[in-house]
Structure 1
Amino acid sequence: MTAFRNRRALLRALALLPAAPLIRPALAAMEAGTLGTARPFDFERLRQRARALAAAPARPSPEKVPELLDRIDYDTYQKIAFRSGNALWAESDTPVAFFHLGRYAKQPVAVHVVEDGVARRVHYAPGYFDTAATGLSEQLPDDLGFAGFRVLNADGETDWLAFQGASYFRSAGPLGQYGLSARGIAVDTAVPGTTESFPRFTAFWLEQPSDGSAIRIHALLEGEHVTGAYRFDCARGDAITMDVRAELFQRRAVTRLGIAPLTSMYWYSETNHRTGDDWRPEIHDSDGLALWTGAGERIWRPLNNPPHVQTTSYVDDNPRGFGLLQRDRDFDHYQDDGVFYDRRPGVWIEPRGDWGRGEVQLVELPTDDEIHDNIVAYWVPDADAEAGREWRFDYRLHWVADEPHPPSVARVRATRIGRAGVPGQHEARDPDGRKFVIDFAGGPLADMAQRYDLTVAVEASRGEITNPYALRIVGTDHWRAAFDLSVAGSEPVDLRCHVHDGKRTLTETWLYQYFPRAWGPSV
């Protein structure tokens, strides 16, 4: 598991790198690279190329001057400025700037521009970047290459979409703050005894479509076990959406193939705040996994910082959607005016077409710092990922402040855990007891007057549930469900809860995995 953790930490560092600053040169494009030979291009050609690659042995990805690039660490990277006048489509609403190679991204990617079915490669040239402040300008080769690219806003200064590192990409979302990342594919994530594989987007083809999309991105995926052809139709509105077509070709068998993977960070929140050694009240990019099952059930699973690597599976048939979300948007709950966790986007995955049977898997790793991505979620199809298999998945990614298809029932707003019993009473405490308090808001509960006959339906994989109740929180339109759990031992407990009135379900289903040893006994 060490390689898994180290690789994820490396990619987290890459995501945290600042985009190369933009500078406006005195002479626009004075040293920009040239475009290569014109070649016909369309998605079918890309698909056939990916299929042909899968039939041949994998080739190692080359690195140019790795020792030199290793000297471009975080601080040095900040001294590299992209010359904005050299941006692709510099005068349009979607100019594209490029990422420089460095310690955390040593393998170059090929970038092409597509117009009228013809592609031309964008050749690297030193003039794209101002590297004078690094002291390395004379040592960098003239054909170094790009680490990736980012799509700028029309102002040419800020960006909203970036592709860089393995098959990772991310968007700043509607609130303008980067957070979690998406990936093209996940291979053998957290499989015991197996090292996770990270296929790469090795080449991109960019075009400005006429169908209203902001930008269309084609990408070639290459990896030891799988190759693929991807198309991303990206658009901006109240949310940022990406319509994805992914065609995958299995080069070698794998144990676990993760479709539409998301990668995030969760250290602590109001749920487990005592495990966070920091002055800020909460630190997380996402606070929960939301599920909309094929049967129509709405589920909220608060994220965990477990004592050991934990993989949880949610079996489904043709899911309607799932995603890692940041529901808590209150600045006072974070008190961070540097990286603004309250503005981090959520990502909702909306499958298109028939995805069949499979399962959403949630992987949670222990962490003691915000620098590590420790949360992964993806879809695993119910079919063997064997050599020679071909797959196609279509889906839409929504980069959002709030989920795009909110449930009609009340949603979970907070989860808190404390000692069992009645607060303020000097009674004997159950040493194995814990109280769980879940706040709900919206749906049919929003306008419901206080009443005392609602049912809190709770299930536990082990232990005893007592004192379940639900009440409206005085002075608010929120409702609170609470119950006590008494459980001995250290094995995790799977909990399930929802509120109903005997005739209808009033809330989404709350799922949680409780680790007794992580909390210790009640006193």
Structure 2
Amino acid sequence: MIRRDVLRGGAALAVLGGSAGGLFAQTQTAPTPAPDGAAAPVAAAPFGFESVVGIAKDLSGSSYAAPQMTLRGTFAKLTYDQYRAIRFRRDRDPWGGLPNFAVDLLPPGMIYTQPVEINIVENGQPRPLPFNLDTFEFDPKLFPEGIDTTEVEGLGWSGFRLRAPLNRPDFMDEFVVFQGASYFRAVARGTIYGLSARGLAIGTGSSAGEEFPLFRTFWIHRPQPGDRMVRVNALLDSDSVTGAYEFLMEPGADTVIQVRCALFPRRELQNVGIAPLTSMFWFSPADRPGIDDFRSAVHDSDGLQMLTGEGARLWRLLSNPANLQISAFQDSSPRGFGLAQRARSFDDYRDTEADYQDRPSAWVQPVSDFGRGSVTLVEIPVRNEFNDNIVSYWQPAQALAANQRADFAYDLIISKLPPDNPPLARAMRTMSGISVNAADWRTYNIDFSETQIGALEPQLVVQASAGKIGAVHAVRMPEQDLFRLAFEFTPGNATLAELSARLVGPDGPISETWLHRWTSG
């Protein structure tokens, strides 16, 4: 066990680490002499975000040592179905049956090979939760030979999930899960799991390879019976950076997660992503080359929605490219961005199992000033729906300096659609195909919501960075409350072209700006 004492504002921060005791922190104030000269009892200071900041800063001064565990016996060869058949026993909830929140601890195995230390914070003080196999039930149908309890030495938790009466008052739905590297997923009322968030992205899409920081320790604060929010602190660690995180989460029709972090780079970080989101896009009516599938669309998100620092609203269609694509939308002090699932009807997919129409959207709303940088979109080729291939994040213009603290704060809002809803027409659906007039032209149909257009006869503004645009026209669809902007495009000799379209009225734009990247692949 290693002990390091670091003074923080007159308080001694004791950091304990090691495979036996785990990595956690306790704070205590310096003893004050009593009137009779004897030392007064030590008063424990509440554990919180700055406690984790002290741990992260101290840890950044040493080389990264990845936590490891050896999966033995049953845990070394779990199938997907077997892993799902290991269930947390609700009577082992460390919160003991609160009416408003519950916590499940998650087992190791399959792809989860790094142990995660979990602490419960009660009355401002943390206590570690050692791994205990008795907290799980193993479905005998998938484990007919049972479990050898001698196999658990050295195992640890892989994460946790939180529950609340999200969809109805008499049932505790899971609404957020932290598991794997720095990944976490959340849902809002009436939605199911889809896209994921992460604590930090490093080197995403780079030729040098991506680095995946790990939330190695969590501190879960026990809420009071009437609380609507639950607080979680986390320690992030990797080769390049350490970080202290705080998540203040309120589940509901919109699940709101207030995030703040303090990062301590071990080296200069240039290709770093703040508030990263990860999703899946295979195909849609706008982009399905060579796809032979009975469904009309398969995706967890269909577009990147942005609200720039100057107030411009952009909608960038997602794609499944033939080759890796990285797009950067430069901005200063962005007001919001996120991955959205706008196609919300069963008829958009006709999938009775995946229910893609119920996947949530995620919106990042900066609280601190993000400064100059870019909303970055990474699109990776996939051949099925089983791998995430879309990543978006904020990349600061300036690298994060080594050995200097960098703070960020933002709200992550999980909902059916992003909460930014101005009086502008939205691009609700895009369809594309070979033109009936010429094989080297493509037809695009963009269906905007018509409510904001009304009786106006907007100017149709369509542009391309390469090639030619033709046959631009509009069709009103009053029965569907849609306004269709249609055009044709030919690339000529170009292999890539950036397309944009918007509707403009007498006083300026009356729609968001639709964006799409065409490639020859």
TM range (shorter): 0.7 to 0.9
Distance (Å, rounded) in 2 between the aligned partners of 1:443 and 1:388? 52
Q: Which ranges in structure 2 are unaligned for 5 or more consecutive residues?
A: 1-20, 28-46
Distance 1:67 1:228, change over 3 A: farther
Equivalent pairs, count: 472
Kept after mapping to 2: 8 A contact 1:267/1:276 = no
1:347-496 to structure 2, matched below 5 A, reads 347-420=362-435, 429-445=437-453, 448-449=454-455, 453-489=457-493, 491-496=495-500
1:169 and 2:184 aligned: yes
Post-superposition offset of 1:138: 3.2
1:112 and 2:119 aligned: yes
Q: Which amino acid aligns with 1:325?
A: A
Distance 1:117 1:131, change over 3 A: same
Post-superposition offset of 1:179: 0.4
When you count strand as a share of all residues, which structure comes out higher? 2
What is the CA deviation profile of residues 68-90 of structure 1, one whole-angstrom value per residue up to 9, with x for unaligned ones?
53311202213312111001223
Kept after mapping to 2: 8 A contact 1:126/1:142 = no
When you count helix as a share of all residues, which structure comes out higher? 1
Among 76, 88, 100, the residue aligned to 2:94: 88
SS in 1 for 2:262: strand
What is the CA deviation profile of residues 124-167 of structure 1, one whole-angstrom value per residue up to 9, with x for unaligned ones?
21210123733333342155221100012345653111000000
Q: Which amino acid aligns with 2:376?
A: Q
Post-superposition offset of 1:262: 0.2
Post-superposition offset of 1:209: 4.6
1:147-296 to structure 2, matched below 5 A, reads 147-154=158-165, 158-192=173-207, 194-209=208-223, 212-296=227-311
Among 119, 125, 128, the residue aligned to 1:121: 128
Post-superposition offset of 1:35: 12
Q: Which ranges in structure 1 are unaligned for 5 or more consecutive residues?
A: 1-33, 424-428, 519-523
Provide the TM-score with structure 1 as the length reference: 0.86
Distance (Å, rounded) in 1 between the aligned partners of 2:62 and 2:153? 31
Distance (Å, rounded) in 1 between the aligned partners of 2:147 and 2:364? 42
Q: Hey, what does 2:137 align to over in structure 1?
A: 130
Distance 1:90 1:109, change over 3 A: same
Q: Which amino acid aligns with 1:473?
A: M
1:64 and 2:70 aligned: yes
Distance 1:489 1:139, change over 3 A: farther
Distance (Å, rounded) in 2 between the aligned partners of 1:213 and 1:442? 38
Q: Hey, what does 2:84 align to over in structure 1?
A: 78
SS in 2 for 1:475: helix
Distance (Å, rounded) in 2 between the aligned partners of 1:156 and 1:104? 30
Kept after mapping to 1: 8 A contact 2:467/2:494 = no
Post-superposition offset of 1:513: 0.2
1:42 and 2:48 aligned: yes
Distance (Å, rounded) in 2 between the aligned partners of 1:248 and 1:67? 38
RMSD: 2.2
Kept after mapping to 1: 8 A contact 2:256/2:412 = yes
Provide the TM-score with structure 2 as the length reference: 0.86
Post-superposition offset of 1:117: 1.7
Q: Which amino acid aligns with 2:411?
A: R
Distance 1:159 1:206, change over 3 A: same
Distance 1:298 1:36, change over 3 A: closer
Post-superposition offset of 1:354: 1.2
Distance (Å, rounded) in 1 between the aligned partners of 2:384 and 2:55? 41
Kept after mapping to 2: 8 A contact 1:463/1:488 = yes
Q: Which amino acid aligns with 2:123?
A: D
Distance (Å, rounded) in 2 between the aligned partners of 1:474 and 1:493? 32
Post-superposition offset of 1:384: 1.5
